[in-house]
A and B are shown apart, each in its own frame.
Chain A
Amino acid sequence: MNEKSKFLKNREKLSRHHTKSFSKLSRDRKDLAAHKAMRALAICVSILVPVFILVLFLRARPILATHNISTLLFSTTWRPNQGSFGFFPFIMGTLWVTMVAMIISVPLSLLTAIYLAEYTRPKVRAFIMPLIDLLAGIPSVVYGIWGVLTVVPFIQKVVMPSADRWLGFSPLFQTSNPTGYGVLAGGIVLAVMVFPIIIAVSEEVIRTVPLGLREASWSVGASRWQTIRRIVLRRAFPGVIAAVMLGFSRAFGETMAVLMVVGNVVQIPHSIFDAAYPLTALIANNYGEMMSIPLYDAALLGAALILLLVVLTFNIGSRLVLARISYS
């Protein structure tokens, strides 16, 4: 038998084999099985979040049962081995860092989004948008390293001396913590991390404003900028707020990059140069250690529950707004 006929024969056998195993009946059965498996998977994934909430709640119950909610949230004493679990310093740490991040990133991202949506040609936009999206794909530990290597020294050597000279009168800029690790460092790192979210979402929202509306404004002699400020942004406002909320929820829950640069001192920050200890850092630094202390584990999971609920609220809220925009 020469090579060719062997090949042909083999092929024939193969195809016979195929027709047999993929007979209609078995194909249907496999299809059905695949369908069921995928459906089960989809259901599992979609109930993950409620399951997370439930588990966190159950595991946090011991502390919720023995401590008043408002004491947990507003007490400033964090002495786990004496049974005092006040989250307030951590909540304030998170809020400070998130606020500084938003103050830096919201104006810059909105201006970028306006520029991309209103002033660039599609070709330029198609070139720049992926570059901005790349920022979203950088692992957060890399941002953390960048923060340690660049942002912290920059704050220590450049920002703090000039703040001392020009802004020393305000308690917001007191430089009693000379390390550079603190709220501002965390805020800057976080700001860069939320850029791509706020830019991408608000750019899209701004571009959904109909061209006819801009033309209506131009047609009475309004300039481009007047049109953007008075008409386009007004129309896009709910979506821009949603974009900011989405960025906020990202900043609120970000852990690794922040804990590498905020200093991690349990205190309520009073200046942007003070060290802080955000909720996420509390959980990441301490979970799995000192678990012999009673209620410690429950307290950390309680903190995780708070974090999850806040982030989810902002996330769902902004998604609802954005969904309504894309349907209208």
Chain B
Amino acid sequence: MSQALPLNTHSSPHLRIQDLNVWYETNHALRGIYAEIPTFGITAIIGPSGCGKTTLLRSLNRLLEEGEGIRVKGQVWLNEVDIYDRVMDLNELRTRVGLLAPKPYPLPLSIYENVAYGRRIHGLDVLDKGNGRNLDRKVEHYLRTAGLWEEVKDRLKAPASALSTGQQQRLCLARALAVEPEILLCDEPTSALDPISAQGIEEQLITLKENTTIVIVTHLLRQASRMADYVIFLWMGELVECGPAKELFKNPKDSRTQAYLMGKIG
């Protein structure tokens, strides 16, 4: 399913991670990570449970440091700006680098307002002369992009909590997309879903990768091989190997990657 896309070898990377270290209290969870995440396409972070995938992902929009006792050291360059620089505006960063969590958390608002939430926060439609019709169009657009429009178009005012889990996750996708992020981080976005909904989300992400950089964490090798253009393999807090998906899956260089791909470890 994955097609040839410009890789970081011949286009400038969207994110450049440089000597990134993370500690939970004294647990050194990420050790000197260097990696480049190509512009557009899907980058998958794979590895066994507890190897630091979520930690790495959440360091990319600095949601990580909201937790207790967490220390981050290193640089992450987003278009020539280090997001760990002191002058970085966190709210702007998180607008540009969105997140889709493993479990859907619909906001305690209506379906419509969930999608409109971020746009209202940033006043994206304040110059709208159409009495909110611009916002209506945007909400519809992103609900369509997330593949949810047909199911909810007659009950946009209903509370989001009334949706099924699969629908809620697609709503969260629409909510994340509505602020037009250039990068979308997805942490095991299908792990709470039934197979049909999971497949739906996978298809939406594959469509999105044409003009959005997508980073997905998954412990499902099949999912990674179906979706990924580029792969980062983590092992006990270290980056063992990364590269274009086809190469890495076909000819893994490191023995740990080989063992993991053959199902011998993790």
Contacts and interface: CB of A to CB of B under 8 A. Distances in A.
Interface of A: 121-122, 210, 212-213, 215-223, 226, 230-231, 234-235
Contacts of B194: none
Contacts of B122: 221
A220 B101 contact: no
18 contacts: A210-B105, A212-B103, A215-B63, A215-B66, A215-B101, A216-B101, A216-B107, A216-B175, A219-B98, A219-B101, A220-B118, A220-B121, A220-B176, A220-B179, A221-B93, A221-B118, A221-B179, A226-B121
B94 interface: yes
A234 B160 CA distance: 14
Contacts of B172: 216
A216 B95 contact: no
B121 A222 contact: yes
Interface residues of B, number: 26
B68 interface: yes
A192 B107 CA distance: 34
B105 A212 contact: yes
Contacts of A235: 108
B61 interface: yes
Question: Which 9 residue pairs spanning A and B have beta carbons closest together?
Answer: A221-B95, A220-B118, A219-B99, A212-B105, A216-B105, A221-B91, A235-B108, A221-B94, A222-B121
A214 to B, nearest CB: 8
A221 B179 CA distance: 9
Contacts of B80: none
B139 to A, nearest CB: 14
Interface of B: 61, 63, 66, 68, 91-95, 98-99, 101, 103, 105, 107-109, 117-118, 121-122, 172, 175-176, 178-179
A235 B95 CA distance: 23
Contacts of B103: 212
A215 to B, nearest CB: 6
Contacts of A212: 101, 103, 105
A121 B101 CA distance: 24
Contacts of B105: 210, 212-213, 215-216
Nearest to B119: A220
A217 B93 CA distance: 13
B66 A221 contact: no
A221 B92 contact: yes
Contact of A121 (B68, B99, B109, B118): B68
A213 B108 CA distance: 9
A221 B175 CA distance: 11
A233 to B, nearest CB: 10
A234 B159 CA distance: 13
Nearest to B177: A220
Given A215-B99, A216-B175, A221 B108 contact: no
Nearest to A222: B121
A226 B175 CA distance: 16
Contacts of B117: 217, 220, 222, 230
Residue in A213, A218, A221, A234 whose Cβ sees the most chain B Cβ within 10 Å: A221
A220 B68 contact: no
Nearest to B95: A221
B160 to A, nearest CB: 11
B171 to A, nearest CB: 11
Contacts of B61: 219
